[in-house]
Amino acid sequence: MKKLLAFIPVFACATLGWSGSLFLGGYPNSILVVDESSGKVVDKIHLETGLPVSMHLSEDRKKIYVTTNDHSGIEVIDLATRKVTNHFVLNTATKRYRFNGGVPDPEGKLFYTVTTEIDKQLEHFDIGKPKYTVIDLAQQKIVKTVEVAAEDENDASGGYGRNVFEISPDGKYLYQFRNKVMILDSADFKVVDTIDLSKPDFPGMENIGFGADLDSIPEPGKHVSIFTASDPIVHNRVFGIGRFDLNSRQMTFSPIGPAPMGMAGLQVTPDNKSAYTVVANGMHGNKRCEFWSFQLSTDRLTERAEVQCRTRFSFGSSSDGKKLYIYGAGFEVEVYDAATLKHERTWDLNNDVTMAGLVVIP
């Protein structure tokens, strides 16, 4: 009997399979820790600096870098203890900054982002132009800014909740995935290379940032995602799967078919064999959404299934890649089975989530 009882928890874990933790930004000032097997909020990490707007998992997967927007703050969370180990704000009495996320260097000493500075004058505010910015996490202040070239100002600071940059494992290059792929030298922010592929737009969808996409890939320094490209003659937009090597700056692109109106980021399973996205067509009340699953060995679209999409939502996947999550805006997470693409259950977090994205820790 004892043997049988000892076997039950093991069997239960094996059946559920997914026992990781989800980290989600929560209103008004916390990071929610959700147990994947139960769907319950097991911890709330209080943020001293306010409302979380972006999260970035460190390269070694031991820390989460959170940006907050009340006073333009940065907080570093140690995942082992679930404690905030460093926090500070950039705003002063006369200066305010706006920024949407960023990326730490591989050593965790510097934080790269794009800021807009707002100076309070006697009777008005002077709003500056976007600048590439280096923040020293130990000194807790901005140590370097470089003006963004006029032609690159558009979309330079990323969208709300999107990560501005990705960084190569050696820390030498910064990548901006926007209407084109821009590769910058992290030392002086000079443009090293540009690639004319763009992230697909998804009206009403926040999570097309690359942080969440990278989190679902077990291989550091590799980036797999959906890109769109258009031919130079009739400008027909096609989508495909792009594989980016952040070290060598080499990219391969496998076109798949005509680009739909909007696509979410690609969620790649840990075994690197399958990937999933959500496709949207139509606007407002006429919007229809579908899950699309891909076989990465052949870069083929293997299955589609209609999904009841919310007006605005974010898309993520479980730590083992067997469940798909649709979450935000609001307090519910809808869980879908990745094999059947059917709805399984809905978790009530009893706390609204922000657009900071989703970090999944196995």
Partner 1 sequence: MKHLRAVNKKARRIDDFVAARDEDVVALQNPNNRQPQPRPHIPMGCSLMFSPGWEVDSAGGTAGLCQPVERDIYDCYVTCYWPAQVPDHLNNSPDWSSKCASATKDWRNLDLVFP
Decide whether 51 or 226 has the Cβ nearer to partner 1.
51
Nearest distance, CB of residue 51 and partner 1, angstroms: 6
- Contact, 251 vs 242, CB < 8 A? yes
Decide whether 67 or 186 has the Cβ nearer to partner 1.
67
Nearest distance, CB of residue 257 and partner 1, angstroms: 25
Interaction of residue 48 with partner 1, rule CB under 8 A = no
To 5 degrees, how large is the angle CA 181–CA 212–CA 277?
85
Interaction of residue 218 with partner 1, rule CB under 8 A = no
- Strand, coil or helix: 161: coil
* Omega cis (within 30) before 329: yes
Nearest distance, CB of residue 160 and partner 1, angstroms: 6
What the block records as the tokens of 9 is 């928890």
Interaction of residue 330 with partner 1, rule CB under 8 A = yes
Interaction of residue 257 with partner 1, rule CB under 8 A = no
Q: Applying CB under 8 A, what is the total number of residues that bind partner 1?
A: 26
Which residues, 123 to 182, sit near partner 1 by CB under 8 A? Answer: 160
* C-alpha pair distances (Å), 163 with each of 108, 114, 208: 16, 10, 9
Long-range CB pairs of 146-149 (<8 Å, 24+ gap) are: 146/188, 146/189, 148/114, 149/191
Please return the burial class of 287, using the count of CB atoms within 10 Å of its CB with bins 0-12, 13-18 and 19+.
Answer: middle
Interaction of residue 38 with partner 1, rule CB under 8 A = no
Out of 284, 297, 298, 308, name the contact with partner 1 by CB under 8 A. 284
Out of 235, 285, 297, 298, name the contact with partner 1 by CB under 8 A. 285
Nearest distance, CB of residue 217 and partner 1, angstroms: 29
Write the binding mask 53 to 72 for partner 1: x where contact by CB under 8 A, - elsewhere: x---------------xx--
Out of 310, 325, 326, 359, name the contact with partner 1 by CB under 8 A. 310
Nearest distance, CB of residue 235 and partner 1, angstroms: 17
Q: Of the ranges 75-83, 128-136, 271-279, 347-355, which one interacts with partner 1 (CB under 8 A)?
A: 347-355
Interaction of residue 305 with partner 1, rule CB under 8 A = no
- Contact, 162 vs 101, CB < 8 A? yes
- Contact, 108 vs 133, CB < 8 A? no
Nearest distance, CB of residue 226 and partner 1, angstroms: 24
Please return the burial class of 260, using the count of CB atoms within 10 Å of its CB with bins 0-12, 13-18 and 19+.
Answer: middle
Output helix, strand, coil percentages for the chain, rounded to the nearest 5: 5, 50, 40
Nearest distance, CB of residue 53 and partner 1, angstroms: 8
Which residues, 97 to 116, sit near partner 1 by CB under 8 A? Answer: none
Out of 354, 358, 359, 360, name the contact with partner 1 by CB under 8 A. 354
Interaction of residue 262 with partner 1, rule CB under 8 A = no
- Contact, 312 vs 328, CB < 8 A? yes
Out of 26, 101, 171, 265, name the contact with partner 1 by CB under 8 A. 26
- Strand, coil or helix: 12: helix
Nearest to 278 by CA among 253, 308, 298: 308
List residues near partner 1 by CB under 8 A.
26-29, 50-51, 53, 69-70, 160, 204, 283-286, 310-312, 329-331, 350-352, 354-355
